[in-house]
Chains A and B, each alone.
Chain A
Amino acid sequence: AQSVTQPDIHITVSEGASLELRCNYSYGATPYLFWYVQSPGQGLQLLLKYFSGDTLVQGIKGFEAEFKRSQSSFNLRKPSVHWSDAAEYFCAVGVRGGSNYKLTFGKGTLLTVNP
């Protein structure tokens, strides 16, 4: 069965600093990969996704992620963090399971941004 690991439960960065959130997955083939963001008290918003092709994908809000097959990773990056980026970030793997696709989520990384 597939699984997703987000090794960092909580990360704190200063505003304007660069950011990298780690995500590792376990799956026998190349999965569909996603990053979602959840602002406090809000639902999950899709940041970006990787299906195939270019391994560096661009998303909304200036985020990007790179798929590295050799490392089974899909890390999320942003060159300069804004205070509004403070939120919880979830990595997810989508695989075909029976009649539809199933999303398996990591447990999330909480991002705090210091002024």
Chain B
Amino acid sequence: IAGITQAPTSQILAAGRRMTLRCTQDMRHNAMYWYRQDLGLGLRLIHYSNTAGTTGKGEVPDGYSVSRANTDDFPLTLASAVPSQTSVYFCASSADSGSVTQYFGPGTRLLVL
């Protein structure tokens, strides 16, 4: 079934550790996004990529980095995790930057201690 996969499903991480959340889509979508979901705050955009080789900052980019080496993969890296990065992380994609409809992956639940 076509869609977005994310790994890991969940993770407990010690503060200060480096962590990469993986996101892969097989829909050949050009645009991809990373959101974090926090109780009472809804979903907030961390970073986005309009096409392979380009990335941009969203609403809450600090402490996170992304890369887009190819169309299918859009990993999110926490260089040195802090407890405030405890959240549920969702990857999403849209056909291209001109498409407003986004499709979401199942999420990664991250606990930073």
Contacts and interface: CB of A to CB of B under 8 A. Distances in A.
A90 B97 contact: no
B100 A32 contact: yes
Given A45-B104, A101-B99, A101-B100, A106 B42 contact: yes
Contact of B106 (A42, A98, A101, A106): A42
B103 A46 contact: yes
Contacts of A45: 104
Interface residues of A, number: 22
B25 interface: no
A99 B56 contact: yes
A49 B31 CA distance: 19
A100 interface: yes
Contact of A43 (B45, B98, B100, B106): B106
A11 interface: no
Contacts of A101: 94, 97-100
A-side interface mostly: strand
Interface string A29-53: 0001010100000111110010100
Contacts, number: 52
B90 A46 contact: no
B102 interface: yes
A67 interface: no
A58 to B, nearest CB: 16
Given A90-B43, A106-B42, A100 B104 contact: no
Contacts of A108: 42
Interface of A: 32, 34, 36, 42-46, 49, 51, 90, 94, 98-103, 105-108
13 contacts: A32-B100, A34-B101, A44-B90, A94-B101, A100-B50, A100-B97, A100-B98, A101-B97, A101-B98, A101-B100, A102-B45, A107-B40, A107-B41
